[in-house]
Structures are given as C-alpha cells and as structure tokens.
C-alpha cells in the first residue's frame, strides 16, 4: 500500500490536464460493446474502475485495442455478448456493478458480479428491487450486497419505476435492462441525477422521451456505433479548483472539463462561497458540454448546502469540505445521507480526518457542519486515514496547502480508481506531495 506525504504550504500555477471522465468512460465501453459497428473512444480514463469495466466486456467476448490515443471497441450487438467463464470482478467500481446488473439481467446466460471489500459493503438492493420487478432473477447476500448472482434468459417487462433516491446508477441500471424489456421502461426520480446515460444512448441512436426528472425508453433493435470524445472529469478537476482557491497566489487553468448541468454543482457551490472561477470556451463534445476553467485564489465564505445541490455535487463533497474548512464562517450540509454509502462513509471519514487536523466539525445523520478557519494555517499537520477511498485521499492531500505541518495519508493506492497520475499532476502544479510505500 502507498501512502501520501504532503509538506505544508505552496501555491499552484499553470495548466492542469485532468484525465477523462469516469462516468462517461464506463458508459462509452458499455454502449460501444452493445453497438453494431466499431466505436473509437478518445480521452478514455485508464483508471482501475474503467479498466474493470473494459475487462468485464473482454471476458464476454468484446474485442478492444489501442490505436494511437484512441480505445477502439468492436461492438458485438445487443444480443452478441458471450457467457463469461468466471465471475466478473468489478473491483471498487459502484457504477460498473450497478449498470452491469441491469445489462446482465437482459442476457441469455447466467453471470456473477463481484467486487472488492468496499464494493461488497455497498447497497445493491436498490438495483435488485427494480430489476426483480421487471422479471429478473438477481440475488445478493442476505443484506442485499454483492456478489450478485444473475440468472439469464428471463423475459423482462417494462415498468414505471420511482426510485427512493435520485441516483444515476439506479436509473441507468433500469434503462439498460429496459433495452431488453417488453414494452416501455419509465423512470421518475425524486431529484436530479446525472444524465450521461441518456445523452450517450441518444448518440447511439436510441430514442428517449425526456421530461423534468423523467425518462422513458422503448426497446430497440440495435445501437449504432458512435465515436466518443470523453471530456476531462469535473470530479477530478474539483480537487484543483479547491486547491487553487485556498492556496495563496495561485492560478490554474483546467482545459476541456465536463460541465454537464446535472453534474456541475461543485462549480456553483464554490462560486457561492466566493471562489474566483471563470468558465471559457464553452462548447459541446460528444453530446456533453465542456469548458476551459480558470481558478484563482480567493477568500471563501461558509454557506448552507442542501436540496437539489447535493446530487449535483455528490462526489465532490470531500473537496468541498476542505474549502469549507478554509472559509470565513460556517458551512452546513444537509440532505446528503447518500455520502454514507460511497466507497467509504464520506461523512464520518471526512469528519474524523478534519477533526484530526484541528477543524471544528459536527456530524449529523445526513450531513455535517464545519466551522471555517479563514486565517492560514487552517489545518494542523497529522496522519489521516483515507479508508481506501480515492476521493478522501485526494481531499486531504490538498488540505496541506493550508496546513502548518506535513500531512500523511494512508491507503492511497485507490486514487488510481479515478485519477491515475494524481501525484505527478499535483506535484507539477505546485503541491509538495510524494507517494511512499507504507510498511503494511
């Protein structure tokens, strides 16, 4: 296991090219595999999570190769996947497991989906339940967790599903099963969730009816291969947006970052906190809005965050909490219980780490309250446990910019699930970070 050691202080300058979007990369592999024809994916995120998805399709007979900077995938068609001869191991990737569960429910063969210790703790009843209503035979353990055993060859029927939480993973799972169902599949969500699946299905020639928090899909004969240019990942960019905001004398440019309106909550939250963020050259890339982002240091202030803002920034809260700890006044997050069922319990784990670094934080069931320390240093140094959660590790790494002593972080191998190369990219921008092999 590697651990990070970050010396305190520093400022950030220059251009940071963050890697491709994780959500879009997973979907690009899935839809390319199911399409008729060949798809070229550029900007594919070569991270552990997305490579697990790619390996799962390779195990089901989908060929891929690298040509220059493109990942080229030969689609096998909606009914062309082959039975894998072993369980599909999806590692740490919740998106992969939940989306694949819907897809596997529609196949003629049986499959088993497994994952690592973190993924095996995450709730899967949220996909088992709607898929069972559609006619699938899918079972987890007694607590509704992975491994998931899926019996193939079951006829599926379209349903109208109203998930209890707004979740792109649940929605996408049901839509993927809906590709194989008899009749229309409808989803009506209690809130806004990211719409990468809908955008990419449309690009692959699948007609959808979309309304406010609603989507409906009719089964189709085939998906039409369509090249995908994956935007840079806003969730990875978020660490640098916060870092440049809290470090003095900093200015970073982040080119080609996805700013999908169902994902861009972190930009709006940081702007509301007083951040100096400017979006330029806004354009569309493979059906997704992207922009070049410029961030400069700025004094931040605490705000209240809740309601619809939560899902729009769901993966960015570890970074946002670091911003809040450097802000003038109090930041209060509510309505974010979903953070407790990510790769780690991100409310408890972030609260523990912030407290270790001397920040006054109060935990609630669905959020937390952070009293900011606007005078640098905002953090003491110390040793923080990432609980094998990539986003926790990266969040505490940037906290060192406002610390008075070194911060060390355990269990940082998992950063590769979403941001391979984080250490060298962050070091080149000005963070005094190094990765060390830990004793155990």
User: By the criterion CB under 6 A, which residues form the site for ligand PEP?
Assistant: 22, 93-95, 315, 342-343, 391, 418
Q: Which is nearer to ligand S3P, 194 or 294 (CB)?
A: 194
Q: Which residues pair with 151 in a beta bridge?
A: 137
Residue 168: contacted member of ligand PEP, ligand S3P, none (CB under 5 to 8 Å, by partner type): ligand S3P
Burial of 153 (0-12, 13-18, 19+ CB in 10 A): exposed
Q: How many CB atoms lie within 10 A of CB 202?
A: 15
Does 253 appear as a known binding residue?
Answer: no
Q: Supply the minimum distance, in Å, between the C-beta of residue 306 and ligand S3P.
A: 16
Q: Supply the minimum distance, in Å, between the C-beta of residue 298 and ligand PEP.
A: 25
Residue 418: contacted member of ligand S3P, ligand PEP, none (CB under 5 to 8 Å, by partner type): ligand PEP
Instruction: Tell me which of 49, 315, 389, 411 is the catalytic residue.
Output: 315
Q: Supply the minimum distance, in Å, between the C-beta of residue 128 and ligand S3P.
A: 15
The CA-CA-CA angle for residues 113, 223, 147, to 5°, reads 5
Q: Which is nearer to ligand PEP, 122 or 199 (CB)?
A: 122
Q: Supply the minimum distance, in Å, between the C-beta of residue 122 and ligand S3P.
A: 9
For residue 62, what are the contacts with CB-CB under 8 A and spacing of at least 6? 33, 73, 74, 75, 76, 81
Q: Which is nearer to ligand PEP, 8 or 240 (CB)?
A: 240
Residue 346: contacted member of ligand S3P, ligand PEP, none (CB under 5 to 8 Å, by partner type): none
Q: Alpha-carbon dihedral of residues 283, 285, 289, 292, nearest 10 degrees?
A: -60
Between the CA of residue 412 and those of 352, 385, 421, what are the distances in Å?
A: 17, 9, 12
> Rounded to whole angstroms, how far apart are CA atoms 128 and 130?
6
Q: How far apart are the first and last CA of the chain?
A: 7
Selected from 4, 23, 136, 333, the binder of ligand S3P by CB under 6 A is 23
For the window 179-208, what string marks contact with ligand S3P as x by the rule CB under 6 A? --------------xx--------------
> Rounded to whole angstroms, how far apart are CA atoms 200 and 206?
9
| Strand ordering across the sheet containing 251-258 | 13-15, 251-258, 288-296, 276-285
Residue 215: contacted member of ligand PEP, ligand S3P, none (CB under 5 to 8 Å, by partner type): none
| Interaction of residue 344 with ligand S3P, rule CB under 6 A | no
Q: Supply the minimum distance, in Å, between the C-beta of residue 343 and ligand S3P.
A: 9
Does 391 appear as a known binding residue?
Answer: yes
- Give the gyration radius of the chain's Cα atoms: 21
Selected from 95, 96, 236, 378, the binder of ligand S3P by CB under 6 A is 95
Between the CA of residue 168 and those of 215, 251, 262, what are the distances in Å?
A: 12, 33, 10
| Interaction of residue 101 with ligand S3P, rule CB under 6 A | no
Distinct helix (H) and strand (E) counts, the chain: 13, 28
Q: Supply the minimum distance, in Å, between the C-beta of residue 418 and ligand PEP.
A: 5
CB 113 within 8 A of CB 100: yes
Does 40 appear as a known binding residue?
Answer: no
Give me 119's structure tokens: 């993924």
Selected from 315, 389, 410, 416, the binder of ligand S3P by CB under 6 A is 315
Does 342 appear as a known binding residue?
Answer: yes
Q: Respond yes or no: is residue 315 known to be catalytic.
A: yes
Active centre residues (catalytic):
315
Binding residues for phosphoenolpyruvate: 22, 94, 122, 169, 346, 391
Binding site for ligand S3P (CB under 6 A): 23, 95, 167-169, 172, 193-194, 314-315, 338
């Amino acid at each position: 296991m590697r651990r990070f050691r970050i010396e305190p202080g520093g400022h950030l300058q220059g251009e940071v090219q963050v890697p491709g979007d994780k959500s879009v990369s997973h979907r690009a592999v899935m839809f390319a595999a199911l399409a008729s024809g060949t798809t070229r994916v550029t900007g594919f995120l070569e991270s552990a999570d997305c490579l697990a998805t790619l390996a799962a399709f390779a195990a089901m007979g989908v060929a891929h190769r690298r040509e220059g900077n493109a990942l080229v995938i030969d689609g096998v068609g909606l009914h062309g996947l082959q039975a894998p001869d072993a369980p599909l191991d999806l590692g740490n990737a919740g998106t992969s497991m939940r989306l694949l569960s819907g897809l596997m429910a529609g196949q003629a063969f049986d499959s088993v989906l497994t994952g690592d210790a973190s993924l095996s703790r995450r709730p899967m009843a949220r996909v088992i339940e709607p898929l069972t209503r559609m006619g699938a035979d899918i079972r987890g353990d007694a607590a509704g967790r992975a491994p998931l055993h899926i019996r193939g060859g079951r006829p599926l029927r379209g349903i109208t599903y109203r998930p209890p939480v707004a979740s792109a993973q649940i929605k996408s799972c049901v839509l993927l099963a809906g590709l194989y169902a008899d009749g229309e599949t409808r989803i009506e969500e209690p809130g806004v969730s990211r719409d990468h699946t809908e955008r990419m299905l449309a690009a692959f020639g699948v007609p959808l009816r979309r309304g406010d928090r609603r989507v409906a899909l009719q089964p189709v004969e085939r998906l039409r291969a369509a090249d995908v240019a994956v935007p840079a990942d806003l969730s990875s960019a978020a660490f640098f947006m916060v870092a440049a905001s809290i470090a003095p004398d900093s200015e970073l440019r982040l080119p080609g970052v996805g700013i999908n309106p169902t994902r861009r909550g972190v930009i709006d939250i940081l702007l509301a906190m007083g951040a100096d963020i400017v979006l330029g050259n806004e354009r569309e890339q493979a059906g997704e809005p992207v922009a070049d982002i410029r961030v400069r240091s700025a004094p931040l202030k605490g705000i209240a965050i809740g309601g619809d803002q939560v899902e729009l920034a769901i993966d960015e809260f570890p970074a946002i909490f670091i911003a809040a700890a450097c802000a003038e006044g109090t930041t209060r997050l509510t309505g974010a219980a979903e953070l407790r069922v990510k790769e780690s319990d991100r409310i408890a784990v972030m609260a523990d780490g912030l407290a270790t670094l001397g920040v006054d934080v109060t935990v609630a069931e669905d959020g937390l309250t952070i009293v900011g320390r606007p005078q640098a240093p905002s953090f003491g140094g110390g040793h923080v446990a990432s609980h094998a959660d990539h986003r926790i590790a990266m969040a505490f790494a940037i906290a060192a910019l406002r610390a008075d002593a070194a911060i060390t972080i355990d269990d940082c191998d998992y950063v590769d699930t979403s941001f391979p190369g984080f250490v060298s990219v962050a070091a080149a921008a000005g963070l005094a970070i190094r990765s060390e092999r830990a004793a155990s």
